């Protein structure tokens, strides 16, 4: 007791819990105020202690591409700290060239990025690094250069463009509003499954059936994109809750479809029914154990990477192109005139008498469209300079992959970009094609204007550095499917721009949806009219 009496003055002099809490609160608020005050002259998004720019990112998530463009128009490089990593966004060509080419070895995918995308892309070319990437790149490069694949793709793209044209013919008769983005997604899914798997899945049938694979693939694409700003996705995955539970179900549908296709194609291969599709080619290569394509899992990853590259990106660009010619009718008329001149010239070269038709007569109209499609091939499409320019201009303003979430670079070592920006080891560096196409410092004062003529000089196509026009990436990872994408887009749009006119359904909103590709949130609802 005597000892307790001696301790009493000490205890009464000790700070109370409430006092400690008050001191801690004051210290915390002081820390936050000092942190925020230190950013008063800082360019780029404002941050908070510990959580970085997460709040601002979440607030602007639905308009993130424009949010980034706003910041990058002020500063050519911005640094965005997040709880588990830091992003550096770049839009100036010399910085892009440094990351994608000059110091390429310092900027692989990195394990953090792979953890986000592994469930969908696996070890495919978009998700691979090092020797695994080099092997796939070499093989894919050889396959894309194959004349057999090119000729097969040309035939497939023409067939599906005609199927789309037939649907539009019927829609124009009954004056029915139609979602062009949905039709493009169906067409590109059917065509990439034909080119990739060698199978017909029939989503572009006249009755436009639902397809579980397409729905699940879109769902998975959206959810893995959300992972980049969702700090709790690992917890949700562990507990199998919310978006991660939906992702697991979607991936199961995707995998069931893909593995079934692999088994079918292997059975046909074993029965000497070799085909020209991409899967068949990789099954053939997989007979060599050293190839890395000897398992069903490796084949699954290969073809799904080609599907995400060839389906969504092409359909998205076709949708924005259609929107551009709707909002720029003079350009649509100019393209139609080019195509009519092309039609007459090609018919003369082939000694073909052109069919005359009444646009209100179904039979003659469809015959005319079919005859025109027969004049389109890989070489002849290369002569359509105005159409090609309009496609490139669409990609400049509306790149299919608006920011390279699909291909960010994880710095291995500390680095300094050409503009002096410091990048620490472990940070992710992302170039932003959507912003790059809108920057005055890249394209001049008319950067935000849709002007296909910027791609023409004296009537001939001109090109720009891929570090400036970055829609197909650049450097060692430049897109292998660029020519194939242009081939399908030119084949489809040549037919559509020659024979159809589109008008937007009144009051239909057009804005993008946040996912890996720049798809339209509510589709593209239009009314279709025939051209004679």
Q: Identify the DSSP state of 309.
A: I
Structure tokens at 311: 């389906």
Residue with tokens 């691979």: 128
Distance of alpha carbon 528 from alpha carbon 185, whole angstroms: 18
Q: H-helix or E-strand containing 460?
A: strand 460-461
- Of the candidates 253, 251, 518, 247, the residue with the CA atom closest to the CA atom of residue 406: 518
Q: For residue 409, what are the β-bridge partners?
A: 429
Phi, psi values for residue 119, rounded to 5°: -60, -30
Distance of alpha carbon 125 from alpha carbon 171, whole angstroms: 39
Cβ-Cβ contacts under 8 Å for 443 (sequence gap 6 or more):
396, 437, 454
Q: What is the DSSP string of 64-132?
A: HHHHHHHHHHH-SEEEEE-SS-EEEEE-SHHHHHIIIIITGGG----HHHHHHHHHHHTTSTTT--HHH
* CB 84, CB 233: distance < 8 Å: no
Q: For residue 89, what are the β-bridge partners?
A: 78, 430
CA–CA–CA angle 64, 474, 466 (5° rounding): 85
- CA torsion through residues 125, 130, 132, 136, sign: positive
Residue with tokens 């001939």: 460
Q: Is 479 annotated as a binding residue?
A: yes
* CB 177, CB 511: distance < 8 Å: no
Largest distance between two CA atoms of the chain: 120
Contacts 24+ apart (CB under 8 A), 130-134: 132/292
Residue with tokens 């000729």: 151
Structure tokens at 296: 């069903």
Distance of alpha carbon 503 from alpha carbon 493, whole angstroms: 16
* CB 502, CB 387: distance < 8 Å: no
Distance of alpha carbon 61 from alpha carbon 319, whole angstroms: 22
Cβ-Cβ contacts under 8 Å for 530 (sequence gap 6 or more):
169, 172, 359, 360, 365, 499, 500, 501
Phi, psi values for residue 107, rounded to 5°: -130, 65
Annotated binding residues for heme, as ranges? 479
Annotated binding residues, as ranges? 479
């Amino acid at each position: 007791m005597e000892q307790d009496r001696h301790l009493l003055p000490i205890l009464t002099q000790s700070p109370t819990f409430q006092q400690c809490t008050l001191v801690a609160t004051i210290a915390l608020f002081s820390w936050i105020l000092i942190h925020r005050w230190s950013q008063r002259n800082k360019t780029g998004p404002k941050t908070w202690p510990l959580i970085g720019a997460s709040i601002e990112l979440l607030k602007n998530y639905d308009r993130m591409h424009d949010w980034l463009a706003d910041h990058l128009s002020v500063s050519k490089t911005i640094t965005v700290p997040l709880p588990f990593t830091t992003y550096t966004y770049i839009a100036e060509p010399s910085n892009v060239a440094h990351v994608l080419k000059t110091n390429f070895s310092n900027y692989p995918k990195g394990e953090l990025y792979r953890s986000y995308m592994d469930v969908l892309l696996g070890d495919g070319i978009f998700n691979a690094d090092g020797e695994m990437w080099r092997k796939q790149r070499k093989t894919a490069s050889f396959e894309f250069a194959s004349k057999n694949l090119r000729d097969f793709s040309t035939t497939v793209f023409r067939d599906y463009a005609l199927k789309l044209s037939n649907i539009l013919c019927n829609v124009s008769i009954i004056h029915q509003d139609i979602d062009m983005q949905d039709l493009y997604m169906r067409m590109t899914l059917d065509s990439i499954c034909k080119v990739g798997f060698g199978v017909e899945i029939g989503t572009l049938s006249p009755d436009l059936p639902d397809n579980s694979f397409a729905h699940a693939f879109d769902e998975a694409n959206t959810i893995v994109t959300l992972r980049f700003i969702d700090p709790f996705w690992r917890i949700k995955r562990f507990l199998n809750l919310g978006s991660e539970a939906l992702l697991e179900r979607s991936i199961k549908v995707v995998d069931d479809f893909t593995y079934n296709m692999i088994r079918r194609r292997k059975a046909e291969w074993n029965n000497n029914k070799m085909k020209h599709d991409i899967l068949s080619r990789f099954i053939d290569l997989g007979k060599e154990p050293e190839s890395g394509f000897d398992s069903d899992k490796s084949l699954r990853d290969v073809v799904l990477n080609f599907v995400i590259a060839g389906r969504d990106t092409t359909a998205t660009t076709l949708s924005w192109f259609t929107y551009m010619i709707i909002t720029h009718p003079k350009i649509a008329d100019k393209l139609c005139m080019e195509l009519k001149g092309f039609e007459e010239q090609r018919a003369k070269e082939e000694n073909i008498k052109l069919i005359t038709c009444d646009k209100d007569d179904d039979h003659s109209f469809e015959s005319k469209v079919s005859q025109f499609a027969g004049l389109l091939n890989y070489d002849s499409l290369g002569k359509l300079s105005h159409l090609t320019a309009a496609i490139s201009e669409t990609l400049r303003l509306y790149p299919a992959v608006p920011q390279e979430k699909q291909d960010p670079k994880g710095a291995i070592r500390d680095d300094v970009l050409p503009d002096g920006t410091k990048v620490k080891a472990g940070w992710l560096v992302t170039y932003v094609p959507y912003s790059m196409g809108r920057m005055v410092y890249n394209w001049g004062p008319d950067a935000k204007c849709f002007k296909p003529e910027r791609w023409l000089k004296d009537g001939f196509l001109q090109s720009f550095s891929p570090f400036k026009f970055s829609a197909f990436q650049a450097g060692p990872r430049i897109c292998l499917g660029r020519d194939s994408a242009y081939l399908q887009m030119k084949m489809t749009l040549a037919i559509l721009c020659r024979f159809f006119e589109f008008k937007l359904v009144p009051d239909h909103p057009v804005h993008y949806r946040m996912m890996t590709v720049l798809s339209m949130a509510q589709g593209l609802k239009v009314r279709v009219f025939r051209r004679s």
